[in-house]
Structure 1
Amino acid sequence: MLSVGLTGGIGTGKSEVSRLLGEHGAVIIDADRIAREVVAPGTEGLAAVVAEFGEEFLTAEGTLDRPRLGSVVFGDPERLKALNAIVHPLVGARSAELQRAAEDTEDAVVVHDVPLLVENDLMPHYDVVVVVDASPGTQLDRLVRLRGMTEADARSRMAAQTTRERRLAAADIVIDNDGSPEELRERVAEVWRRLSGRARAA
């Protein structure tokens, strides 16, 4: 089994790369999706977030108001640290559980989709670190045009993450996503050939 850490700055297209790798046959462990699961209604994670931040961050349906919480924590490093201290251990435990389930397949390629892989110095946990990269201008355009963020919010989200330079320095493989969707598909296919070949040889 080959353990791969996949990361990239917001707006670089990491989620699309994750989806494409899944189409090729990778086992995807998505930290963002797990992060939503561990704060779902009725979980200890949601109870801890409410205890830390207050009930005003719940919707009328009793779910976590993620946009409202995000607008607070992404502008305040201390509040972001408090949120991460609740969510990250829960995500780590669930990710480890999913990885153990995949270990039964010898030549499996297990891709951990981890937005804050570099920020949290998780590189040693993986056999290979893959970074999806795009220029800051491309990131900003995608966040404003495709996700509907204001430019100020988009810049704030980008600034809350580590630098492009630090992320690239951590990479074993870089996937450039400044081009077209077709170019990205070709690059991901080539990366898949490398990863699956290494998994078979392990």
Structure 2
Amino acid sequence: MANKRCPVRLGLTGGIGSGKSTAGGMFASLGATMIDADQIARAVTGPGGDAMDAIRSTFGAAFVDASGALDRSRMRELAFNQPEARTQLEAIVHPLVTRHSLMQTQQAIAAGSRLIVHDIPLLTESGRWARQLDAVVVVDCPVETQIERVMHRSGLAPDVVQGIIASQATRHARRAVADIVIANGPHNTLPALQAQVRQVAALFGL
């Protein structure tokens, strides 16, 4: 898995509702440097974000809200009805996420970080990350658990949640790219998740 160079770089991924973000917070609490691709994507599509000029020119002013940010609900609806719109949006946002991730990685290396964890929701779908990482950690749970958790926390209808899950890599595909699987099924507890995260962090020097 990890080679001898420092710092170790882990990729952390998992489907919506898997508990990936919770696990990421646990890695951070143990001293890992977290680089969150979703957080970067929200920043570049926020008010005055790097992606907003291209989004406005590609999709029109109707997809920019009053604050100057991406109108996420409108874009979600468009992407649901026109899958090519999602591809267009990704072509704008993903290169910016990559650039900002690289900058944050360089800063972490300069600061002497021992473990950098890249929180990447679309790691499985992307072919470019594997060669940049020492290992891939997948937070895993059954699809039924994903649906239940997302409905509970967001109030989304089951068909909407199922549509989101269908747009992501399958559970099988995520497990296929994993070096380490963190199990976070329906009966898992936060202490049990914490224990697994600690084991992984210890394996890579924290």
What is residue 28 of structure 1 aligned with on the other side? 34
Unpaired runs of 5+ residues, structure 2, are 1-6
What is residue 101 of structure 1 aligned with on the other side? 107
What is residue 38 of structure 1 aligned with on the other side? 44
Alpha-carbon distance between aligned partners in 1 of 2:50 and 2:67, rounded to the nearest angstrom:
17
The equivalences for 1:95-174 within 5 A come to 95-106=101-112, 108-121=114-127, 122-174=129-181
- Residue 54 to residue 187, structure 1, CA distance change in 2 (3 Å): same
Query: 2:32, 2:115 within 8 Å by CA — same for their partners in 1?
Result: yes
6-15 vs 67-76, which deviates more?
67-76
- Residue 50 to residue 107, structure 1, CA distance change in 2 (3 Å): closer
123-132 vs 41-50, which deviates more?
41-50
Alpha-carbon distance between aligned partners in 1 of 2:145 and 2:171, rounded to the nearest angstrom:
13
| TM value normalised by structure 1 | 0.92
| 1:37 shift after superposition | 1.0
What is residue 200 of structure 1 aligned with on the other side? none
Alpha-carbon distance between aligned partners in 2 of 1:107 and 1:93, rounded to the nearest angstrom:
19
What is residue 74 of structure 2 aligned with on the other side? 68
- Residue 190 to residue 75, structure 1, CA distance change in 2 (3 Å): farther
| TM value normalised by structure 2 | 0.91
Q: Which runs of 4+ in 1 moved over 3 A?
A: none
Quick one: which of 193, 196, 204 aligns to 1:195?
Answer: 204
Q: Deviations over 1:163-202 (max 9, x none)?
A: 11111010001101111222111111111111226xxxxx
CA RMSD of the aligned region, Å? 1.4
Alpha-carbon distance between aligned partners in 2 of 1:12 and 1:74, rounded to the nearest angstrom:
22
Unpaired runs of 5+ residues, structure 1, are 198-202
- Find the residue that maps to 1:90 and give its secondary structure: helix
Alpha-carbon distance between aligned partners in 2 of 1:71 and 1:195, rounded to the nearest angstrom:
41
Instruction: Tell me, yes or no, if structure 1 residue 13 matches structure 2 residue 19.
Output: yes
AA aligned to 2:168 is Q
